[in-house]
Amino acid sequence: MLINVAETVVADALRGMAAVHPELTVDVERRVVVRRDAPVPGKVGLVSGGGSGHEPLHGGFVGVGMLDAACLGEVFTSPVPDQMVRAAAAVDSGAGVLFIVKNYTGDVLNFNMAAELAEDEGIQVASVLVNDDVAVTDSLYTAGRRGTGATLFVEKIAGAAAEQGAPLERVEAIARRVNEASRSFGVALGSCTTPAKGSPTFDLPSGELELGVGIHGEPGRERRAMMTSGEIADFAVDAVLEDRRPTGPVLVLVNGAGGTPLLELYGFAAEAHRVLRERGVPVARTLVGNYVTSLDMAGVSVTLCQVDDELLRLWDAPVQTPGLRWGR
């Protein structure tokens, strides 16, 4: 691994982020990343966070048009309430703060506690839970559906609404709407390796894949012999459509798990478009790349979000973060 020692891998990454992105304020010790111009007067602050190892989620999505702050935990470990309160205080302009929380037990408990603590300090807080994964209902890390790729859609679209001056109630409603309109399904072709362990976190024999894997390597629906890209697209897209059949155009996220090259991801995107075309689902926009990752896992997930003119306009609005940028 390209690291110094496992114990400092998160701090070292944050030191690098601070060196490379002067538009951000990076607190390496407390592991909080804040946009440098925060708090923006009159603007709702957006705060998210989670375990490290999913980069660019969440620290790489801090900036204009997206998050105002992110809290980072250890690898695959939730940040703590003190970090979340500190982030909320750093971005609160008096217009309130929205917590965007992936549905994992540690994240949910700690963000709920942080919301209570922040309100004790006079900060108005609303929270939205992201639970888009259709693969399983309960898993090793969560009760209910896991939060995965739709987190990017929620942070981008709600972030655009906040950037344009929408009040807290409106930003919260838009975030909930995006989550409710989104569904995801992931596939692993190989395990990830955590710095602390130094070896694969789960056993996936050569020539097999895990259908419905979670972003921490949690088991999915089933294991099968290796399939072609087209066969995987058929299975993954159909799993999403079976859970929620869109009645209008969709945003598509073809998301790499961290160890799959763009050459393969774009090939999979072509197959996903084919399946959607065959199923009569129009595509409004597609984003391809490694955005919600699982360290070096080989694999892919597909996320669909049904959009209307308002959500599409907010998606297209300018964004400038380390991990996502257009229109500026």
Q: Do 28 and 58 belong to one domain?
A: yes
Q: What is the mean pLDDT of residues 183-199?
A: 94
Contact 314, 94 (CB under 8 A): no
C-alpha span between 221 and 210 (Å, rounded): 8
Q: Would you say residue 328 has pLDDT above 80?
A: no
Q: Please say which residue of 181, 209, 231 terminates a domain.
A: 181
Q: Do 95 and 128 belong to one domain?
A: yes
Q: Would you say residue 195 has pLDDT above 90?
A: yes
Question: What number of residues does the chain have?
Answer: 328
- For 131-140, what is each residue's pLDDT tens digit? 999 998 887 7
Considering its fold, how many domains does the chain have in total? 2
Q: Do 275 and 174 belong to one domain?
A: no
Per-residue pLDDT, 220: 87
What is the Rg, in whole angstroms, of the alpha carbon atoms belonging to the chain?
19
Query: Looking at the domain assignment, is residue 129 inside a domain?
Result: yes
Q: Please say which residue of 181, 214, 242 terminates a domain.
A: 181
Q: How confident is the model at residue 181 (pLDDT cuts 50, 70, 90)?
A: very high
Query: Looking at the domain assignment, is residue 327 inside a domain?
Result: no
Q: Do 38 and 127 belong to one domain?
A: yes
Q: Do 166 and 278 belong to one domain?
A: no
Q: Flag the least confident range among 62-66, 79-83, 175-179, 201-205.
A: 201-205
Query: Looking at the domain assignment, is residue 6 inside a domain?
Result: no
- For 70-80, what is each residue's pLDDT tens digit? 999 999 999 99
53, β-bridge pairs:
none
Q: What is the mean pLDDT of residues 225-234?
A: 98
- For 110-153, what is each residue's pLDDT tens digit? 999 999 999 999 999 999 999 999 998 887 777 889 999 999 99
Q: Please say which residue of 181, 214, 231 terminates a domain.
A: 181
Q: What angle do CA 80, 54, 142 make, to 5 degrees?
A: 60
Q: Do 173 and 187 belong to one domain?
A: no
Q: Do 168 and 199 belong to one domain?
A: no
Percent of the chain with pLDDT over 90: 92
Per-residue pLDDT, 307: 98
Contact 190, 258 (CB under 8 A): no
Q: Do 78 and 132 belong to one domain?
A: yes
Task: Tell me whether the omega of the peptide bond preceding residue 58 falls within 30 degrees of 0, making it cis.
Answer: yes
Contact 114, 88 (CB under 8 A): yes
Q: How confident is the model at residue 202 (pLDDT cuts 50, 70, 90)?
A: confident
Residues of the domain holding 283: 182-318
Q: What is the CATH number of the domain that holds 313?
A: 3.30.1180.20
Going through the chain in order, the beta strands assigned E by DSSP cover 24-27, 32-35, 45-52, 69-75, 97-102, 125-130, 182-188, 208-211, 222-225, 250-256, 283-289, 299-306, 319-320, 325-326
Q: Do 106 and 213 belong to one domain?
A: no
Q: Do 90 and 234 belong to one domain?
A: no
Q: Would you say residue 319 has pLDDT above 80?
A: yes
Per-residue pLDDT, 246: 97
pTM (whole model) above 0.95? yes
What residues are annotated to the active site? 54, 216
Q: Do 107 and 51 belong to one domain?
A: yes
- For 78-89, what is each residue's pLDDT tens digit? 999 999 999 999
279: left (phi over 0), alpha (psi -120 to 50) or beta: alpha
Q: Do 127 and 64 belong to one domain?
A: yes
Side-chain-side CA neighbours of 155 within 13 Å: the count stands at 35
Q: What is the CATH number of the domain that holds 19?
A: 3.40.50.10440
